Amino acid sequence: MLLYNTLTKKREEFVPITPGKVSIYVCGPTVYDFIHIGNARPMIVFDTLRRYLEHKGYEVNYVSNFTDVDDKIIKKSIEEGISAQEVSERYIRECRQDMEHMNVRPATTHPRATQEIDGMIDMIESLIEKGFAYEKNGTVYFSTRKDKEYGKLSHKNLDDLRSGGRDLLVTGEDEKEDPLDFVLWKPKKEGEPFWKSPWSDGRPGWHIECSVMSRKYLGDTIDIHAGGEDLIFPHHENEIAQSECCNGVPFAHYWLHNAFLNIDNHKMSKSLGNFFTVREIEQHYDLQVLRLFMLSAHYRSPLNFSDRLMESAKSSLERIRNAVDNLNFRIENANAEAMSADEKEKVRELAAFTQRFDDAMEDDINTADALSVVFDLVRFANSDVKEDSSKEFCAAVKEEILLLGDLLGMQFERKEEVLDLRIEDLIKERQAARKAKNFARADEIRDELAGMGITLLDTREGVKWKRN
Ligand code: AMP
Ligand code: ZN
């Protein structure tokens, strides 16, 4: 499998450290609010990578953290008059619910920063001992000059960064020896949550969290480290500096970064108001539509969120699900059980769909191409499954559609209750059409329902329906 590695700026053949096993760390959200659809992009993309690797037979250890101590969490806790822990626990719960509804599987481990403080203190101590960090008035800084490889991930020219360094000076951090030095530990301010440490009562910097949690759950060197492209600098650059200076071995072999999700061609931002949470989208769409929309672009291409694209994802999903409904109907109503000789010939073509799907995924997770294979397969189903098709043939086609769907984390079979709602909607629409004397539409809906295996019954209490 080829993966584009930000570290080498090349597409490289993926070779895991241990044959048959893959370790992945994905930087997770800061939990001070509902996650937005931008946060959903790395979740969906790297969950899809995980599913594909598992399908290839790898045992995947997938770790994704929750950053549950941070200025934004503290600000929210003050605004709402509750503790920082209550804020983060609430939004971890909400995030897990959003993940579940997007069919993003829970990580093998979801560590929380506040539960790993001892490990962070250990790593900071060893960085000080090794001469890579220094303390000033209770704050500990990482000394970037000591790391000869600093800048290797973001491919930045450090001298330019240093000369423009004023921007990097943050209030309260002006004691640092170099503008690129960054905080490992900082003293608490009044009212903030804190932990005891050899330097001050305080809390860790953001970057040290991931270095420590990745090492604890996956080891000194891991296969894949991933996140959104905004994290390349400084977050991931700093993680590499900390981990490699402390552990003396490479931190991660492959660095994967997804491009940003924009809204109506603008950067998503709370201040511009062009900002949607996953929860808001869920009020209008099945989140499978959101997942399909995300996978319709390559993860390294910027993706623009718009009503038009969501509507198009919605009708694509409908098309696939209608094909599966149709197959279900044929499976239930087929006259012949076993495949005919012709069908046996045809069914061999299914393997070619799997092959093309795999080829797309092997090409740096090209989910856009993988989806076009699914659409071709749906076309195959719609044209090659006929009234006289055998049960066995229909089942094989259906199984292929569901298999590819599963690899993408897509549920292509309507859940019964969702199906029921759709049937009710169609019946309502048919009654309205009849009232408006639009008999053509009414007949069309009756035929569509018949295609789904639904019989309508006119009763005294109104129209009832049953599955054939
Ligand atoms: P944060 O909570 O800001 O640390 O973000 C959690 C994850 O979401 C990180 O991997 C970010 O890179 C990613 N992310 C944030 N905003 C976007 C966006 N608009 N598009 C894609 N990824 C994003
Ligand atoms: Zn991180």
List the CATH number of the domain containing 316. Answer: 1.20.120
Q: Do 190 and 137 have their domain in common?
A: yes
- pLDDT attached to residue 161: 82
Number of structural domains in the chain: 3
Q: Do 463 and 376 have their domain in common?
A: no
Atom of ligand 1 lying closest to residue 227 CA: 10
Does residue 302 belong to any structural domain of this protein?
Answer: no
Q: How far apart are CA 377 and CA 214, in angstroms?
A: 40
Q: Do 26 and 166 have their domain in common?
A: yes
Does residue 158 belong to any structural domain of this protein?
Answer: yes
Closest ligand to the CA of 242: 2
Does residue 301 belong to any structural domain of this protein?
Answer: no
**Are 40 and 305 in contact, with CB atoms under 8 Å apart?**
no
What is the residue range of 19's domain?
2-258
Q: Do 168 and 221 have their domain in common?
A: yes
Task: Name which residue sits closest to atom 4 of ligand 1, judged by CA.
Answer: 29
Does residue 276 belong to any structural domain of this protein?
Answer: no
Q: Do 366 and 426 have their domain in common?
A: no
**CA of 379 relative to ligand 2 center, distance in Å:** 42
**CA of 240 relative to ligand 2 center, distance in Å:** 10
- pLDDT attached to residue 165: 53
Tens-place pLDDT, residues 93-150: 999 999 999 999 999 999 999 999 999 999 999 999 999 999 999 999 999 999 999 9
**CA of 88 relative to ligand 2 center, distance in Å:** 17
**CA of 206 relative to ligand 2 center, distance in Å:** 8
Q: Do 45 and 191 have their domain in common?
A: yes
Task: Please tell me if the CB atom of residue 119 comes closer than 6 angstroms to any atom of ligand 1.
Answer: no
Q: Do 76 and 189 have their domain in common?
A: yes
Task: Name which residue sits closest to atom 8 of ligand 1, judged by CA.
Answer: 39
- pLDDT attached to residue 96: 97
- pLDDT attached to residue 113: 97
Does residue 266 belong to any structural domain of this protein?
Answer: no
Task: Name which residue sits closest to atom 19 of ligand 1, judged by CA.
Answer: 38
SS3 336: coil
Q: Do 394 and 449 have their domain in common?
A: no
Task: Please tell me if the CB atom of residue 268 comes closer than 6 angstroms to any atom of ligand 1.
Answer: yes
Tokens representing 270? 């709370």
**CA of 39 relative to ligand 1 center, distance in Å:** 4
The residues facing 62 across adjacent strands are 24
Atom of ligand 1 lying closest to residue 262 CA: 19
Q: Do 335 and 190 have their domain in common?
A: no
**CA of 448 relative to ligand 1 center, distance in Å:** 42
Task: Name which residue sits closest to atom 2 of ligand 1, judged by CA.
Answer: 29
Instruction: Looking at 274-390, list the stretches that DSSP marks H as alpha helix, in order from N- to C-terminal side.
Output: 278-282, 287-295, 307-333, 341-347, 349-362, 367-384
CA atoms within 13 A on the CB side of 356: 16
Last residue within a domain, chosen from 381, 407, 433: 407
- pLDDT attached to residue 70: 92
Does residue 104 belong to any structural domain of this protein?
Answer: yes
CA atoms within 13 A on the CB side of 333: 17
DSSP code string of 95-109: HHHHHHHTTPPPPSB
Q: Do 231 and 314 have their domain in common?
A: no
Q: Which of left, alpha, beta for 219 (phi over 0: left; psi -120 to 50: alpha)?
A: left
The residues facing 25 across adjacent strands are 63, 225
Task: Please tell me if the CB atom of residue 253 comes closer than 6 angstroms to any atom of ligand 1.
Answer: no
- pLDDT attached to residue 302: 96
Select from 86, 113, 94, 97 the least CA-distant residue to 28. Answer: 113
Q: How far apart are CA 20 and CA 17, in angstroms?
A: 9
Q: Parallel, antiparallel, or unpaired for β 454-459 and 462-467? A: antiparallel
> Best of 24, 36, 39, 46 to mutate for ligand 1, by most ligand atoms within 8 A of CB?
39
- Low-confidence stretches of the chain (pLDDT < 70) are 164-174, 270, 417-418
pTM of the entire predicted model: 0.89
Task: Name which residue sits closest to atom 17 of ligand 1, judged by CA.
Answer: 38
**CA of 182 relative to ligand 2 center, distance in Å:** 15
> Best of 49, 88, 230 to mutate for ligand 1, by most ligand atoms within 8 A of CB?
230
Q: Do 364 and 436 have their domain in common?
A: no
Q: Do 390 and 447 have their domain in common?
A: no
Does residue 280 belong to any structural domain of this protein?
Answer: no
